[in-house]
């Protein structure tokens, strides 16, 4: 047998535990990558199936043509009368109207408007047909006024009981309804956290404020008529502006929509997975280094016996290769399990993901193998080359240590890596790169290079840092000499300290960056809102997107405690062929409630149906000044000419185009507000105004009635939740980092067996031994965590500059907490090696060679 192969195999066999620990880190990284693939592939397959199921019994759908809707994110409506035209077509067997609204909110048994974590609350008309996707689960389907049904998952989640009365809030306010039954959407009720209520068509139209309107008509053909014939017949009968499409089109569109969402979700997961892989690379490199270092004498011996450098190198790489293969295969299996675990975790957060279809694609398997083997080989390369350089004479000499005298070279490489790394980050953030993949590649690649560079620089200061950080251990009376030993051990090998801390450094850097960016955003948001919102109260829907009745603003304005009062509406316009958001409000009142930082003109000038106020960026792009004319195209009414009456600088929470409500009324068919701003009338206490609003809040419980500060608090709360989710996902990478620390400590216990045996012989107790190992790990963890926070602060600062946040906030208490938790976790991670060290047989340990 080839001696290189033999050696590689024997080495693996003789150090199963060590190799197992190494493989564990690779395995964890592979598993996370696999999980992100399996989860997104599985979700895509499931959603595709759902979309197909829903359209399975429908042959064609009739709907409005065109993609220019007057309001973004809302399906276009058509007249209910079209139903008669469609029904009259000979080849049509059944024509069912469909209308979905997101403005209808149920009030639960506790009198609270229900709120989801983000998925929509939908109300649809209950189609009375076996082809309907919404089927009866229990009770009855709604078939009259005052009746509704809700999907059984939401009924359970929010505690709705059949035949009980619940208030439903529509655009006109709140009124009592009876829950007549629960429903099931498709086979699995796979609503992914959305709430689905059904009513009769009349009730949905009334509650939605859309009398006589529907979104689309689902059509089935007479038997013997092909879908193509049906579509042709329908197209012939339909007036302009309407189209008939086959169910295949609907399925494709639906699958594309879901697919895009799943892709984003999958890519985010994959990004976190790659962070884990990156961290595990550092850990494996470190482990290989130590493993080979412990084998110097063996390496030297086989060199002395005639093995070439190449053979030594190959033997070491072969070992890494085998570890990679085994770890990939196990990682593949664990990853599949992890995918289901992640789904369970996300469902416990309320995401309600549907059952996963198990899809293990060739891509998943190839990626798992590539990542596992690639990471193992790449991280073993440097240590293996170093091993190959061990001179034969080291076999006879005690205390040969390789890798010394490389400090200068390492520093030069670190600098060489840092330059493209920093450049990549700078170009991606401050340059004008349009391609998202390229941008992410530059950003990710830059960050990877910077992390590697920092790790290579770290040995320059790891020893003094660890000595400094470990200094308090000397003062702890209950530790005494043990603390001293922990400090010395943690700082004695600068490279090992740096490498061991590297994984934690990366994890903490990312967490610190996320925290810094989030708190900078929060501070900036709060201060901008404070200076922009001069009104006292803000009334808005929880998720920002769903409108409400324009009657509310009138009711608020009627209160003597509040003055002035205005509302805003959000619509869609085209300028020079490009779609833009437009806000409609009372231009005459606006500057009393909202500080736009007007540069020239005045929004109140000629406030009426033919003026527009624009943000300075629009003025610059289109070269407009106050008094100039601007053509605006509306979905409902076509192109109209407006006069610019003001240019403003501050578009915070406001669109780049502002028109008066009178202009809206002339050009939009939809009539709903998206927010209300109100100031306290002169001489009125703010508390009095707030209690006056309370009554209206009871009638519109789905809306948030808030002061500016309360509004900021709520948005900050949402941002905090996002940071928690990010930290949870980064947590896996950090878990791997701690695995690395435990691993390094285990290896260094092994390395120091004789030393530990000696100390045990001269009187170190088991407890003292454990404390020594644990505190050493704590010092290394503290070093890694602090270094990570420093790098994270720099990254965070750069990110804050790049997204042009005007404040840079350092959340000191959070960062301190992270560092403390990381140190403590390091202490705990070392428990296993510490226990092992304390249980060493003293005699065997002393006599180990």
Partner 1 sequence: MAGFAGITTEQDSGPQAAGTMAATATRLTKLYGEGNTQVVALDAVDIGFEAGKLTAIMGPSGSGKSTLLHCVAGLDSVTDGEVRVGDTLISDLSDQELTLLRRDRMGFIFQAFNLVPNLTAEENILLPLLLGGREPDPEWQKRVIDSLGLDERLHHRPDELSGGQQQRVAVARALMSRPAIIYADEPTGNLDTNSGQEVLGFLRRAVDDWGQTVVMVTHDPGAASHADLVVFLRDGQLVGRLEKPTPDLVLDRIRALEA
Contact residues: partner 1, CB under 8 A: 399, 480-482, 484-485, 488-489, 492, 754-755, 758-766, 768, 842-843, 846
Q: Name the pairing type of β-strands 638-648 and 242-246.
A: unpaired
Q: Name the residue nearer to partner 1 (CB basis): 294 or 311.
A: 294
Q: Name the residue nearer to partner 1 (CB basis): 484 or 714.
A: 484
Nearest residue to 51 (alpha-carbon basis) of 239, 252, 329, 238: 252
Q: Name the residue nearer to partner 1 (CB basis): 23 or 470.
A: 470
Q: Are 125 and 198 in contact (CB under 8 A)?
A: yes
Question: Could you tell me the smallest distance in angstroms from the CB atom of residue 433 to partner 1?
Answer: 51
Q: H-type helices in 702-765, by residue range?
A: 708-751, 753-761
What is the Cα–Cα distance from 108 to 164, expressed in whole angstroms? 11
Q: Are 616 and 644 in contact (CB under 8 A)?
A: no
Q: Name the residue nearer to partner 1 (CB basis): 174 or 487.
A: 487
Q: Which residue has the tokens 């009426």?
A: 608
Q: Which two tokens stand for residue 384?
A: 């293996």
What is the Cα–Cα distance from 446 to 438, expressed in whole angstroms? 12
Question: Could you tell me the smallest distance in angstroms from the CB atom of residue 741 to partner 1?
Answer: 19
Q: Which two tokens stand for residue 112?
A: 């609270």
SS3 call for 708: helix
What is the Cα–Cα distance from 102 to 196, expressed in whole angstroms? 10
What is the Cα–Cα distance from 545 to 718, expressed in whole angstroms? 15
What is the Cα–Cα distance from 829 to 281, expressed in whole angstroms? 19
Q: Measured at the alpha carbon of residue 75, what is the angle toward residues 72 and 77, in degrees to the nearest 5?
A: 120
Q: H-type helices in 63-147, by residue range?
A: 82-88
Bridge partners, 216 (sequence order): 63, 98
What is the b/e burial string over 486-519, where b = at least 16 CB atoms within 10 angstroms of the residue's CB? bbbbbbebbbbbbbbbbbbbbbbbbbbbbbbbbb
Question: Could you tell me the smallest distance in angstroms from the CB atom of residue 749 to partner 1?
Answer: 14
Q: Name the residue nearer to partner 1 (CB basis): 510 or 764.
A: 764
When computed from its CA atoms, the radius of gyration of the chain, rounded to whole angstroms, is 33
Neighbours of 189 (CB within 10 A): 20
Question: Could you tell me the smallest distance in angstroms from the CB atom of residue 47 to partner 1?
Answer: 59
Q: Name the residue nearer to partner 1 (CB basis): 428 or 748.
A: 748
SS3 call for 77: coil
Question: Could you tell me the smallest distance in angstroms from the CB atom of residue 750 to partner 1?
Answer: 15
Q: H-type helices in 57-135, by residue range?
A: 82-88
Q: Name the residue nearer to partner 1 (CB basis): 332 or 840.
A: 840
What is the Cα–Cα distance from 777 to 623, expressed in whole angstroms? 63
Question: Could you tell me the smallest distance in angstroms from the CB atom of residue 752 to partner 1?
Answer: 9
What is the Cα–Cα distance from 314 to 837, expressed in whole angstroms? 33
Q: Which residue has the tokens 């450098």?
A: 309
Q: How many residues are present in the chain?
A: 849
Question: Could you tell me the smallest distance in angstroms from the CB atom of residue 726 to partner 1?
Answer: 40
SS3 call for 571: strand
Q: Name the residue nearer to partner 1 (CB basis): 72 or 492.
A: 492
SS3 call for 196: strand
Question: Could you tell me the smallest distance in angstroms from the CB atom of residue 772 to partner 1?
Answer: 10
| CA distances in angstroms from 69 to 81, 573, 726, 741, listed in the order given | 20, 9, 35, 56
What is the Cα–Cα distance from 408 to 542, expressed in whole angstroms? 58
Question: Could you tell me the smallest distance in angstroms from the CB atom of residue 755 to partner 1?
Answer: 6
Question: Could you tell me the smallest distance in angstroms from the CB atom of residue 762 to partner 1?
Answer: 5
Q: Name the residue nearer to partner 1 (CB basis): 17 or 471.
A: 471
Q: H-type helices in 65-192, by residue range?
A: 82-88, 152-158
Q: Which two tokens stand for residue 197?
A: 């209520």
Q: Name the residue nearer to partner 1 (CB basis): 409 or 767.
A: 767
Q: Which two tokens stand for residue 14?
A: 């003789």
Q: Name the residue nearer to partner 1 (CB basis): 683 or 763.
A: 763
Q: Are 572 and 637 in contact (CB under 8 A)?
A: no
Question: Could you tell me the smallest distance in angstroms from the CB atom of residue 488 to partner 1?
Answer: 4
Question: Could you tell me the smallest distance in angstroms from the CB atom of residue 25 to partner 1?
Answer: 27
What sign does the dihedral 199-200-201-205 (CA atoms) show? negative
Question: Could you tell me the smallest distance in angstroms from the CB atom of residue 829 to partner 1?
Answer: 21
What is the Cα–Cα distance from 289 to 751, expressed in whole angstroms? 13
Question: Could you tell me the smallest distance in angstroms from the CB atom of residue 2 to partner 1?
Answer: 35
Q: Name the residue nearer to partner 1 (CB basis): 310 or 847.
A: 847
Q: Which two tokens stand for residue 292?
A: 């080979």
Q: Name the residue nearer to partner 1 (CB basis): 746 or 759.
A: 759
Q: Name the residue nearer to partner 1 (CB basis): 50 or 750.
A: 750
Question: Could you tell me the smallest distance in angstroms from the CB atom of residue 743 to partner 1?
Answer: 21
Q: Name the residue nearer to partner 1 (CB basis): 448 or 486.
A: 486
Question: Could you tell me the smallest distance in angstroms from the CB atom of residue 397 to partner 1?
Answer: 13
Question: Could you tell me the smallest distance in angstroms from the CB atom of residue 486 to partner 1?
Answer: 10
Q: Name the residue nearer to partner 1 (CB basis): 418 or 759.
A: 759
What is the Cα–Cα distance from 57 to 134, expressed in whole angstroms? 13
Nearest residue to 541 (alpha-carbon basis) of 713, 700, 692: 700
Q: Which two tokens stand for residue 340?
A: 């289901």
Q: Name the residue nearer to partner 1 (CB basis): 628 or 755.
A: 755
SS3 call for 159: coil
Q: Name the residue nearer to partner 1 (CB basis): 614 or 845.
A: 845
Question: Could you tell me the smallest distance in angstroms from the CB atom of residue 761 to partner 1?
Answer: 5
What is the Cα–Cα distance from 27 to 277, expressed in whole angstroms? 9
């Amino acid at each position: 047998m080839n001696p290189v192969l033999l050696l590689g195999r024997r080495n693996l066999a003789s150090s199963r535990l060590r190799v197992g620990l190494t493989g564990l880190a690779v395995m964890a990284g592979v598993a996370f990558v696999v999980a992100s693939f399996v989860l997104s592939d599985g979700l895509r397959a499931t959603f595709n199936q759902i979309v197909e199921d829903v359209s399975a019994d429908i042959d064609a759908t009739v709907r409005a043509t065109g993609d220019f809707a007057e309001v973004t994110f809302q399906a276009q409506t058509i007249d209910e009368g079209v139903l008669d035209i469609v029904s009259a077509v000979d080849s049509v067997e059944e024509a069912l109207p469909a209308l979905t609204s997101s403005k209808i909110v149920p009030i639960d048994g506790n009198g609270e408007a229900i709120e989801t974590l983000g998925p929509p609350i939908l109300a649809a008309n209950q189609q009375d047909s076996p082809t309907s996707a919404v089927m009866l689960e229990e009770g009855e389907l709604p078939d009259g006024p005052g009746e509704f049904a809700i999907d059984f998952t939401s009924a359970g989640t929010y505690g709705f009981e059949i035949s009980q009365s619940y208030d439903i809030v529509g655009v006109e306010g709140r009124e009592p309804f009876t829950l007549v039954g629960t429903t099931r959407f498709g086979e699995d009720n796979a609503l992914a956290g959305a709430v689905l209520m059904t009513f009769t068509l009349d009730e949905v139209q009334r509650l939605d404020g859309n009398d006589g309107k529907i979104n689309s008509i689902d059509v089935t053909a007479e038997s013997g008529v092909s879908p193509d014939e049906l579509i042709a017949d329908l197209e012939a009968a339909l007036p302009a502006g309407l189209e008939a499409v086959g169910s295949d089109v609907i399925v494709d569109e639906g699958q594309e929509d879901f697919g895009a969402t799943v892709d984003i979700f999958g890519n985010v997961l994959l990004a976190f997975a790659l962070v884990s892989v990156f961290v595990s690379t550092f850990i494996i490199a470190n482990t290989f280094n130590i493993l080979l270092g412990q084998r110097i004498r063996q390496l030297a011996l086989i060199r002395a016996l005639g093995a070439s450098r190449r053979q030594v190198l190959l033997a070491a790489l072969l070992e890494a290769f085998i570890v990679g293969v085994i770890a990939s295969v196990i990682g593949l299996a664990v990853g599949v399990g992890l995918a289901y675990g992640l789904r369970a975790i996300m469902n416990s957060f309320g995401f309600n993901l549907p059952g996963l279809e198990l899809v293990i694609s060739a891509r998943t398997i190839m990626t798992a193998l590539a990542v596992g083997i690639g990471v193992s080989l790449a991280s073993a390369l440097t240590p293996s080359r170093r091993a190959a350089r061990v001179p034969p004479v080291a076999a006879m000499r005690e205390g040969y240590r390789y890798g010394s005298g490389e400090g200068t070279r390492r520093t030069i490489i670190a600098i060489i890596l840092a330059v493209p790394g920093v450049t990549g980050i700078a170009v991606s953030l401050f340059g004008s790169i349009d391609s998202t993949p390229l941008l992410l590649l530059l950003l990710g690649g830059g960050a990877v290079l910077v992390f590697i560079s920092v790790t290579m620089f770290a040995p320059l200061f790891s020893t003094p840092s660890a000595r400094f950080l470990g200094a308090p251990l000397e003062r702890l009376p209950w530790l005494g000499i043990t603390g001293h030993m922990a400090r010395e051990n943690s700082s004695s090998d600068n490279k090992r300290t740096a490498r061991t801390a590297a994984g934690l450094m990366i994890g903490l850097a990312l967490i610190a960056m996320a925290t810094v960016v989030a708190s900078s955003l929060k501070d900036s948001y709060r201060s901008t809102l404070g200076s922009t919102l001069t009104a006292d109260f803000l009334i808005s829907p929880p998720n920002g997107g769903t409108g409400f009745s324009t009657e509310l603003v009138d009711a608020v304005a009627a209160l003597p405690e509040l003055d002035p009062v205005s509302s805003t509406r959000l619509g869609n316009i085209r300028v020079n062929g490009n779609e833009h958001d437009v806000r409609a409000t009372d231009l005459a009142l606006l500057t009393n409630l909202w500080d736009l930082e007007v540069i020239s003109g005045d929004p109140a000038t000629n406030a009426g149906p033919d003026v527009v106020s624009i943000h300075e960026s629009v003025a610059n792009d289109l070269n407009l000044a106050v008094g100039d004319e601007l053509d605006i195209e509306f979905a409902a009414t076509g192109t109209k000419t407006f006069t610019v009456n003001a240019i403003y600088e501050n578009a915070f929470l406001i669109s780049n185009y502002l028109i008066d409500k009178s202009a809206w009324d002339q050009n939009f068919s939809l009539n709903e507000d998206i927010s209300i701003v109100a100031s306290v009338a002169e001489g009125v206490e703010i508390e009095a105004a707030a209690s006056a609003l309370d009554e209206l809040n009871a009638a519109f419980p789905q809306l948030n009635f808030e002061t500016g500060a309360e509004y900021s608090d709520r948005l900050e709360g949402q941002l905090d939740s996002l940071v928690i989710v990010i930290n949870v996902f980064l947590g896996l990478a950090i878990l791997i980092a701690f695995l690395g620390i435990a691993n390094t400590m285990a290896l260094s216990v092994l390395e120091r067996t004789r030393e530990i045996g000696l100390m045990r012989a001269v009187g170190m107790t088991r407890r003292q031994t454990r404390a020594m190992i644990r505190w050493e790990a704590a010092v290394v963890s503290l070093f890694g965590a602090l270094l990570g926070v420093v790098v994270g602060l720099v990254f965070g600062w750069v990110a804050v500059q790049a997204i042009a946040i005007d404040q840079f906030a350092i959340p000191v208490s959070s960062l301190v907490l992270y560092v403390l938790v990381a140190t403590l976790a390091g202490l705990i991670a070392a428990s296993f090696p510490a226990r092992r060290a304390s249980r060493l047989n003293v005699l065997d340990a002393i006599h180990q060679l």
